[in-house]
Chains A and B, each alone.
Chain A
Amino acid sequence: MTGIPQHHFAGLSACILHRSDDAIRQVAERCDRLGIRAIGSSSGFGADGASVADMIILDIDTGHDGAFPWAVAEAPVPVVGLIGSESPGRLGWALGQQVDAFLPMSALGNLFSALVIAHATFERRSAMARERAEVAHMRAGRLDVVRAVIALMADGGDEALALKQLRTMAMVGQTTLEGAARAVLADGPADRARDA
């Protein structure tokens, strides 16, 4: 990777979740120096805590799945995990949540690095999730492709010609093969004949 990752955080907001007010103060001070507006809470998310923050900095010693208004490992913003006790169970929980970057409480001076890593990891994680959803969507359309090929073969060609015809439709319609197949099946034989 040769590009410069996102490293300007001025104007963004961070939700700091920690059991200790002193820890919140320390993290908030560092956020302030980076131009980040910090919202601290020692009692979990408020009603709108997650929706207003651009990133989350949380205490992994006290975190639990029910603390977040989203499914496990599906945080909608970058998450930095503050390491306190280093107990394997807590680290395991944070890994299960797919926390984007870790920062020991003894190294708060490196918050900037943790934020850069968290934002880059989150971006990569989001891209992978989009890719997975796309692949799943394509897989779900396989049967439609088979059905569309069979439907097109009714016009007199063999399966190779029908598949080629379907690819052409996808290209012209600027859609996926699966999308073109669904369109063919939705049209029905009469419409295909008319479209042709």
Chain B
Amino acid sequence: MSYKLGLIFSTTGSYAALGRSALAGAMGAIDRIAQRGGVRIEPVIRDPGGDPSAYEAQTAELLDAGVRNIVGAITSWSRKDMIPILERKGGLLWYPCPYEGFECNDHVVYLGAAPNHHVVPAIDWIAAQGMTRAYLVGSNYVWGWETLRLARDRLQACGIEVVGERYVPLGSTAYHHLVDEIIATDPDCVVNSLIGPSSTGFVQALGARDPGRGARPGHLVSFNQTEADLAELGRHADNLLSAGSFFAEDAGPDLAAVARRHAPNKEVSCFLATAHAAVELFAAAVARAGTDAPHAVFDAVTDAPVETAIGLVGIDPVLRHAALTPRLALARDGKFRVIARAECAVPADPYLSRQSAPPIERRPGLRIVR
């Protein structure tokens, strides 16, 4: 008996590097589970090419063809386009990417970092470094809007001034005016929620205009930068701070082998690791339930935590989110070095309803005037 599993990742288009990394993780997991004699999974792969409208059509096509579970979507835009189809046709999406929170759909299992896993620890770290001025830049869609809104709230609660907040259209490379503004305002850090070519070009342009920035740890802050496309940023990514639920440094030999075999860049990333874990969770749930019917599978996966490539993962049966272990990492020479790691898995708090006030005590902004 085999079970179909849809894999919808954009392996071409503007954010193909992330899609390729995630697909590599999912395919590696399917291979490894088959080698272990576990549940047989038949992957049904589609590539929307980064076109938001294609996600909807391909989801419908797969569900009509008898697929009931899908691992996929990278952007929140694509996930939100898939949800109405999943609702109408009774499918279940295993979403393996960090996202901005404020969602809890009955047809999705949220496996990526929620804002309490990325925005909150990253901003608290910025505050702990004594930074006082931040600049926010994001892609003009829900990921950019919401992550930067949360960042702004947290920064201001920490007493950090937001000297600018700008958005550019998804995929746009019209960011040079932002670089000018950043040079002029000289913030301590730039919180970057751009994605795809916008992010790559922006980081390179900013680094080229102001090479001295790279010497300061946390001069750039990201909530979704991974090893999947870190190399594209080159040396300008040095000392970039990224918050996430997994970095390559924590990968075991099996996951590293999956990356070498399946990932075009041979690197483990959070996308690769979480997509791998998504397939492991699906396989465990199907084995427990004896069916791939979405309701039964979801009930089964919430029964008990599952050992995966990213550790033991438990899913909240009400909020449908994974408990994850947040980490902060600094980039250097194309690699991430983890500088802080939560002691244990932290339940997702997608509505940030359980967050305490920032723990940072700000020093008064006074200096001796002679």
| Residues of A participating in the B interface, judged by any CB pair closer than 8 Å | 4, 7-10, 29-30, 32-36, 107, 109-110, 112
Task: Report yes or no: B149 in contact with A35, Cβ–Cβ below 8 A.
Answer: no
A4 and B150 CA atoms in complex are apart in Å by: 11
Task: Report yes or no: A109 in contact with B353, Cβ–Cβ below 8 A.
Answer: no
Q: Report the minimal beta-carbon distance from A2 to chain B, rounded to whole angstroms.
A: 12
Task: Report yes or no: B318 in contact with A29, Cβ–Cβ below 8 A.
Answer: yes
Partner of B353 from the list A4, A8, A29, A110 (CB cut-off 8 Å) is A8
User: What is the 8 Å Cβ interface bit string for chain B, positions 126-159, against chain A (1 contact, 0 not)?
Assistant: 0000000000000000000000010000000000
In the assembled complex, 9 residue pairs joining A and B whose CB atoms fall closer than 8 Å, in A order, are A4-B149, A8-B352, A30-B318, A34-B351, A35-B353, A109-B105, A109-B320, A112-B102, A112-B104
> Chain B: which residue is nearest A35 at the CB level?
B353
Task: Report yes or no: A109 in contact with B354, Cβ–Cβ below 8 A.
Answer: no
B316 to chain A: which residues have CB within 8 Å?
A: 33
Count contacts on B: residues with CB < 8 A to the other chain. 13
Partner of B351 from the list A4, A29, A33, A107 (CB cut-off 8 Å) is A33
B106 to chain A: which residues have CB within 8 Å?
A: 107, 109
A34 to chain B: which residues have CB within 8 Å?
A: 351, 353
Q: Report the minimal beta-carbon distance from A162 to chain B, rounded to whole angstroms.
A: 53
Task: Report yes or no: A33 in contact with B149, Cβ–Cβ below 8 A.
Answer: no
A29 and B319 CA atoms in complex are apart in Å by: 9
Task: Report yes or no: A33 in contact with B318, Cβ–Cβ below 8 A.
Answer: yes
Sample of 12 more A-B contacts, CB < 8 Å, known A8-B353, A29-B318, A34-B353:
A4-B149, A7-B351, A8-B352, A9-B353, A10-B354, A33-B316, A33-B318, A33-B351, A33-B353, A107-B106, A109-B105, A112-B104
> Chain B: which residue is nearest A7 at the CB level?
B351
> Chain A: which residue is nearest B348 at the CB level?
A33
- Find the residue from A9, A10, A30, A36 having the highest chain B CB count within 10 A: A10
A32 and B319 CA atoms in complex are apart in Å by: 10
B104 to chain A: which residues have CB within 8 Å?
A: 109-110, 112
Task: Report yes or no: A33 in contact with B102, Cβ–Cβ below 8 A.
Answer: no
B residues 304-327 in Cβ contact with A at 8 Å = 316, 318-320
A110 to chain B: which residues have CB within 8 Å?
A: 104
Task: Report yes or no: A10 in contact with B318, Cβ–Cβ below 8 A.
Answer: no
B318 to chain A: which residues have CB within 8 Å?
A: 29-30, 32-33
